Every structure is written in structure tokens, then in C-alpha cells.
Structure 1
Amino acid sequence: MDNVVALKFNGLQFDDWQEVNIRQSIDELVTQVQLGFARPGTGTPFPIDVNTVAQVLINNQLISTVRTDSAPRRITENSHSNQFMGRSLGRELVDTQYSATYKNLTVSEIVKRICTLFKVPLTPFQSTALVPDFSMQSESPANAIVNAARTANLLIYPTPEGGLVMAEPDNNPPVATLEMGKQIKALVINDDYRQRFSEYLVKSFDYGANTARRGTVKDEGLTFFRPMHVIADRMGNSLGALQRRAEMERNRRLARAHSLVVTVVGWGYEQNGIWHPWQLNTQVRAVVTDEGIDQTLLISDIELTQDDRSGTLATLTLVHRNAFVGQPPTVKKKSAAARKARR
């Protein structure tokens, strides 16, 4: 597979890039794209403006639809370099601040109304809770949308069309097996203890009942004081909802504190003879025999890179799906044979 990136806009196509960096992450509402090349001579600028919308394709498959953030040019006496930097259509949700109030809508309907206002396509989740009152005052729409998705225990992430999709964590069989020494060229086993807190307290005020409410839960694994207090929005301020939010926050952080970051050659995988790009919210099987790892994990972050030095690489962050389901992580003990082999 050639792994060719093409940028298409206004009937034009550019596909001779020397540097490529494309990033995506669950719970981040944009795909970030950075492309560049260097040539002899003074060159010319890209024929783009502030309203340009471009398609980014890999091997003729749509990866993202983006607006231009910037297009810097560097010119020397005998050469020039051009860069294209853009983000998918959800960038306005990230960059702006806005005020809105909605009543008696479901979580999905609230998110859809915000996205429609900013002309960001949305694939909503069909069954979500009813929210009696919702408001944001001079706030980032992105924060409101991410919080809404988390309240519904859903993921939200960018699509190739530039929009967003609300979905449950993938529970399908792994699309590929990544094994150290074969597909995996480099590996980081990440234990991020900063994710964890000794206690989680989610509090709110029920104006209808004129009473304060709270939900609280502890991480029994921590022996020192490290609190996390959260002020809940109005999408879930009943006593049961606050307790579930506290438990979900703890359980997500317990699972996300442990991740694998794998680097593989190429930007996708083959299934039944058909090439597919790596996608967020899909599961893969990770096998690292020396570490006793053989698990099915969820892709939460993707970084695709290409340059003259390192070639074509994909860096995938893998976590247990419980990191997004809100259930405690299952501890998978190594077998006696595996422990004996490492001695």
C-alpha cells in the first residue's frame, strides 16, 4: 500500500507531501491535520482562504473534512516550503464561546441542536435521557458537548465527513492483531498515576427542591489525600445520577491510568483483502509476550506520521474499553508459566 495523502479543495488536488501529521482522539471533537513540503525556487501560496473546506484522503479513502487554520510559507534565497494546517468542522465548537438554554430535550437532541447551529454534522445516539433544563453561559460548546456525552456514558469523536458521532464503546471482535516484533515496532507501557484521586465528590444544587445534593466514592488503592470535586451541570443532578457520575469518574480514571502506546508501520490494516485506515473506537488484540500481555483493547488516540526520516508510521493509544464504559478495570494476572519465564 502506497499510503498517499491527498488534499482536495476547489477542484484542485495536492498529494506530493514530504511531511504528514494527522491526529485524532476520542472525546476531542476535531481531527488535526498538518501537511508540508519543501521545493527549490520561491514557489506560490496555496489558493485557499478563510472559507475553504478541504477533504483529506489516504489511499483514496476519506479521512477528514477540514477548514484551514493556517498556511505558512517559508522562503529563502533558493528554496521555499509550504505547510497546510487544518482541523475538522468541529473546530468552531472548540474555539468559540456561546450561550444557549434548552428545556425538556434528550442529551442527543441538545448536542444535535448545538451542532446544527454551527453546521457540524452529527450522528446522534438514539436513546438518551431527558434533560429538564440545560444552559451554557458564554461557555465553550465543545465542553458542553463532551460533558453531555459523558453524562450519557457515550463517546463522541470526529468522523471522516468532518462531523461528530455519539456512540457506545466498541464491543466487536478485534479488527487486527498487533504483536511485538511483528506489527509493533515500538511500545510504551504507560502507568499514569496522575489520573487517580483518593475521593470523587460530585455536587449540585436542586433549585426545584431547594436542596444541595452530592454523590461520593473513594479509590481505595490510594493511601494519601488527593480529592477531586466536580460541580455537576443540570443534565443530571438527582441523587442517584450524582452517585453514578462519581462512580463512573473513578472507574474511568482507574482504567485510563493504564494504557499501551504502540507504533506500527503503515496507516491501516487489511481485512478480507480490503485495506482499512485505523479508526477510533475500534478494538485490536495486543500481544507482548515478554510482558505477559495478550488483551483486546480499544483505540482511543491515533497519530499518523510520514517523513523522509522515519517513513510511514501510526502511533495508537490502546486502553481497556472500561476506560469509557465506566466500569472498574479487570486485573489480568500473568500465568505462573509467564512469571517463571521472566525470572
Structure 2
Amino acid sequence: MDDDLYLSIGNQTISGWTDVRITRGIERLPSDFELGLTELYPGQLDRVVVQPGDECQVMIGSSLVITGYVDRYTPSMDAHSHTIRVAGRGKCQDLVDCAAMWPNGQISGTSALDVSTKLAAHYGITVACDVQNLRPIPQFNLFLGESCYEIIERISRYSSLLVYDTPDGNLTLAQAGTVQAASGFQQGINVQAATVQYSSDQRFSKYTAYTQSVQMYSDIGVAGNVIAVVEDTGVKRPRERVIIAEAVQGFQDLAKQRATWEMNRRIGRAAVVTLTTDSWRDSAGALWTPNTLVSILLPQLKLADESGTGPVTWLIGEVTFQRNMQTGTTATITAMRPEAYLPEPTALQPMFVDGSTIPQ
């Protein structure tokens, strides 16, 4: 299978890159790349025409990886060689870098998909969502100077959605993936190196969540706390954590959601695997893709199922495709339990934070 890397800019396609790094993930926006070419005798690379701001596509063989823009073009030379480096990011960089444009600065009566679509359209980006019947967004105001991404990330958390870009450069709102790769990673088969970080310092035996009105002395304030408690039975000694949920009135189940999310996320992130494999693709020829479930068996690092002999099924959070003269072609994968990627429950509107308390 063709795994050469191609950078397409206008009617020019450049291949033969000697140094490649492409990173995509479900907790990063946008995807980004950095490519390098080296030749011993200056001359050939002069024909490579690249300008910062150029629209581009990065492909591995026939598989599209990033659609975006060139951010930096860096040629250099010395007595022995001539090199160029090209760095860029996906189209969604404009959502991260640029201010949100919204008439009147007030949003109400809509969904995370609708808001994201309207904000992204200003910068020529489309939005897709894999969830139906999204929770309605209560009225809230934008802060002057906020970026599109800051708003989209906030309303997506409220709707329990992850936010990341796709190879075509557009935005996707999604929950933790349920699609599994055709193959996984196994010690002695396709794992060149691996590290698993096990931790307990960020886990607690009991999580107590409170919500309290910040206007408890006003006519509309709520002086009483809403208390929710969840326990992590995997922590054997008393370790307690108190959480102030983001709601301040109404939405009384937010405290329980917030405590449960805190516990599950910390359990999920108590084990993180980072591994290097010798291929950019699974056994079916698909590129390793963020938000895809994958089986992992590393018995020497005590990463296996409860029987100790079978694989665990974790979610790919980030993948970096690399190629250089020192290590050849590799992919570095970061994966955790799916619950590690659950978005944090949040409230958007400080006075009325769920459907039952929004005035009609």
C-alpha cells in the first residue's frame, strides 16, 4: 500500500518528504503537521513553491489526513545541504484563532449543532454531529472577543459532546466512539515501544458536589445547597473531594452529574498508554484514527483484561504519524478507557440552567 506522504497546494503535489510529523486527536483542535525536505546540493528544492496562507491537503497514499492551510514555510541552507520545512494546521484553526461573529451577541432557543454551524459558517467551515435530539441551549450571551472555539467547546460540553476536526478540515461534534479498528496492538507483534502510566494520586474515595446560588441574598437567589455524593470503591483509604458545580439555580441533577463525571474521568485517566507501532494503518488498511476503539495487550506492562491474558479495549485519543531517517515510519498512539473522554457537564446560564427553570 502506498504510504508516501503528499502535500498538495494548488496544482502542485510535493512528495519525497524526509521528515514527517502529523498529529490528530479528540482533545486538540486543530490537527497539525510539520514536514521537511533535505537535499545535498541546492537547486531542486527551489522549484517547490509554498507560501504561508496557502490552502493545502496532506495525504498518506490515497487517504486524506488534513485539509487546511500552510502556517509557516522555512527554507534554510548551509555549506552542505539545502532544506525546507513546512508547517500547517487544519481549517478549523480559524475557529481557534479568530473572534466569534454573532448578531447582537445573544444566543437562545437552539442547539449546540445550530450554534456551531452558524459560527463556523462565517469562516467557511461546516459542522457535523452524530447525536440526535440535542439538549436545547438556554439563552446566554457571548463575551466580546471570544473565539468561535471557546463558545463551541462550552456549549458542546453542556451537550456532552467532544469537539475535533475531520480530515476534510471541517468540524465534528461527537460522543466517545463505538467503532472498533480492524486490529489492535499486541506486545511482540506490532508494538515497538510502550509506556503505561498508572496513577492513584488523582483519584478519591468520595466526591461531594454542591451547587449554591451566587445571589443567595437576592430575591431570586437560592440559599440552600444541593448535595450529591458518589463513591469510588477502588480507592481503599479515605480521600474526599468537594466540588462546586457550575450551576447556581435550578438543574438540581447537575450536582450528581458533575460528581459522577469527576469520578469516572479520574478513574479513566488513572491509566494512560502511549505506544509506538511500525505502521500507520490497521490490518484493514485504515489509518489509525482518533475516537476509534482499539484492542491493546501488553502483559509485560500489566495491561490486559481481568484474566490477564486477553486485551483491553480502549479509545484512541491522539495519533501522531512520523517518519524520519532515525526511526523510519512509526505511529505514536495515546489511548485510555472510553470514560476518560467524557465531556464535563456544565451550565451555560447563571440564573436558569435547565428546561424546568427557564421562564416561559
The CA deviation string for residues 74-104 of structure 1, in whole angstroms up to 9 with x for no partner, is 1223422111100001112222344642111
Cα 1:174–1:6 change in 2 (3 A) is: closer
The CA deviation string for residues 309-331 of structure 1, in whole angstroms up to 9 with x for no partner, is 1000001111111223479xxxx
> Paired residue for 1:89, among 78, 88, 91?
91
Cα 1:76–1:16 change in 2 (3 A) is: same
Say yes or no: does 1:316 pair with 2:333: yes
Matching residue of 1:301: 318
Matching residue of 1:49: 51
Please give the secondary structure, in 2, of the residue aligned with 1:130.
coil
Matches of 1:21 and 1:165, distance apart in 2: 23
* The 10-residue stretch of structure 1 (215-224 or 133-142) with the greater mean CA deviation from structure 2: 215-224
Question: In the alignment, is the contact (CA less than 8 A) between 1:151 and 1:245 conserved in 2?
Answer: no
Matching residue of 2:136: 130
Percent identical residues: 21
**One-letter code of the match for 1:49?**
Q
Matches of 2:212 and 2:123, distance apart in 1: 29
> Paired residue for 1:111, among 94, 116, 134?
116
Question: How does 1:263-342 map onto structure 2 within 5 Å?
Answer: 263-271=276-284, 275-290=285-300, 291=302, 293=304, 294-325=311-342
Say yes or no: does 1:160 pair with 2:158: no
Unmatched segments (≥5 aa) in structure 2: 305-310, 345-360
Matching residue of 1:185: 192
Shift of 1:227: 5.7
Please give the secondary structure, in 2, of the residue aligned with 1:44.
helix
Shift of 1:13: 0.4
Structure with a larger share of its residues in strand: 1
Question: In the alignment, is the contact (CA less than 8 A) between 1:3 and 1:312 conserved in 2?
Answer: no
Matches of 1:47 and 1:61, distance apart in 2: 23
Matching residue of 2:354: none
**One-letter code of the match for 1:281?**
N
Question: In the alignment, is the contact (CA less than 8 A) between 2:319 and 2:333 conserved in 1?
Answer: yes
> Paired residue for 1:251, among 264, 276, 281?
264
The CA deviation string for residues 1-25 of structure 1, in whole angstroms up to 9 with x for no partner, is 3421100011100011000001111
Please give the secondary structure, in 1, of the residue aligned with 2:119.
helix
Matches of 2:69 and 2:210, distance apart in 1: 37
**One-letter code of the match for 2:33?**
V
Matching residue of 2:5: 5
Question: In the alignment, is the contact (CA less than 8 A) between 2:245 and 2:255 conserved in 1?
Answer: no
Matching residue of 1:334: none
Cα 1:229–1:76 change in 2 (3 A) is: farther
Shift of 1:118: 2.3
Please give the secondary structure, in 1, of the residue aligned with 2:164.
strand
TM-score by length of 1: 0.83
Shift of 1:194: 6.3
Question: In the alignment, is the contact (CA less than 8 A) between 2:161 and 2:343 conserved in 1?
Answer: no
Matches of 1:45 and 1:257, distance apart in 2: 50
Matches of 2:323 and 2:18, distance apart in 1: 7
**One-letter code of the match for 1:168?**
Q
> After the TM superposition, which parts of structure 1 deviate over 6 Å for at least 4 consecutive aligned residues?
206-209
Question: In the alignment, is the contact (CA less than 8 A) between 1:107 and 1:152 conserved in 2?
Answer: yes
The CA deviation string for residues 238-265 of structure 1, in whole angstroms up to 9 with x for no partner, is 2223431342233223212312111100
* The 10-residue stretch of structure 1 (136-145 or 162-171) with the greater mean CA deviation from structure 2: 136-145
The CA deviation string for residues 247-301 of structure 1, in whole angstroms up to 9 with x for no partner, is 2233223212312111100111122xxx111111111111123325121111111
Please give the secondary structure, in 2, of the residue aligned with 1:175.
coil
Matching residue of 1:151: 158
Unmatched segments (≥5 aa) in structure 1: 328-343
Matching residue of 2:107: 102
**One-letter code of the match for 2:42?**
G
Matches of 2:202 and 2:75, distance apart in 1: 40
Question: In the alignment, is the contact (CA less than 8 A) between 2:68 and 2:90 conserved in 1?
Answer: yes
The CA deviation string for residues 187-220 of structure 1, in whole angstroms up to 9 with x for no partner, is 1111255655675757575989833576655665
Question: In the alignment, is the contact (CA less than 8 A) between 1:179 and 1:286 conserved in 2?
Answer: yes
Please give the secondary structure, in 1, of the residue aligned with 2:66.
strand
Please give the secondary structure, in 1, of the residue aligned with 2:24.
strand
Matches of 1:237 and 1:34, distance apart in 2: 48
Say yes or no: does 1:72 pair with 2:74: yes
Cα 1:194–1:50 change in 2 (3 A) is: farther
Matching residue of 2:27: 27
Question: In the alignment, is the contact (CA less than 8 A) between 2:53 and 2:71 conserved in 1?
Answer: no
Max Rg structure: 2
Question: In the alignment, is the contact (CA less than 8 A) between 1:206 and 1:237 conserved in 2?
Answer: no
Matches of 2:335 and 2:60, distance apart in 1: 22
User: What is the aligned length?
Assistant: 322
TM-score by length of 2: 0.79
